[in-house]
Amino acid sequence: DIQMTQSPSSLSASVGDGVTITCRASQSISNYLSWYQQKSGKAPKLLIYAAASLQSGVPSRFSGSGSGTDFTLTISSLQPEDFAIYYCQQSYSTPRTFGQGTKVEIK
């Protein structure tokens, strides 16, 4: 199985701050990497696919980069609605695997 490791596990930030979350795969996954946002009691929502492509309807303050084993999700200017848990996920091979999540909290 491909292990996905996110860092940090949690972070505190203020509205307007820039935030970066990293995700590392245990082997190369090319750009078969997605990012999801999950709010309490809701299903995950696709933000970024193919490592860097913005899902339709997602604000442009979200961006993704990386290829191979190292990936990042950047939120350029945190908004109140961005406080949530973020997951990375590989779709290079089965079983599909997710990172453990990064909780973004209000400072």
Partner 1 sequence: QVQLQESGPGLVKPSETLSLTCTVSGDSISSYYWSWIRQPAGKGLEWIGRIYTSGSTNNNPSLKSRVTMSVDTSKNQFSLKLSSVTAADTAVYYCAREGSGSYYRAFDYWGQGTLVTVSS
Residues of the shown chain interacting with partner 1 in the complex, contacts defined by CB under 8 A: 1, 31-32, 34, 36, 42-46, 49-51, 53, 55, 87, 89, 91, 94-101
Residue 32 or 82: which CB sits closer to partner 1?
32
Rounded to a whole number of angstroms, the minimum distance from the CB of residue 45 to partner 1 is 8
Closer by beta carbon to partner 1, 1 or else 70: 1
Q: Which is nearer to partner 1, 20 or 31 (CB)?
A: 31
Quick one: which of 92, 104, 95, 88 has its CA closest to 34? Answer: 88
DSSP string of 43-95, one letter each residue: --EEEEETTTEEPTT--TTEEEEEETTEEEEEESS--GGG-SEEEEEE-SSSS
Cβ 47 to partner 1, closest distance in Å?
A: 10
Q: Measured from the CB atom, is 78 or 87 closer to partner 1?
A: 87
- Residue 43: CB atoms within 10 Å: 7
Q: Closest distance between partner 1 and the C-beta of residue 50, in Å? A: 4
Sort strands 97-98 and 19-25 into parallel, antiparallel or unpaired: unpaired
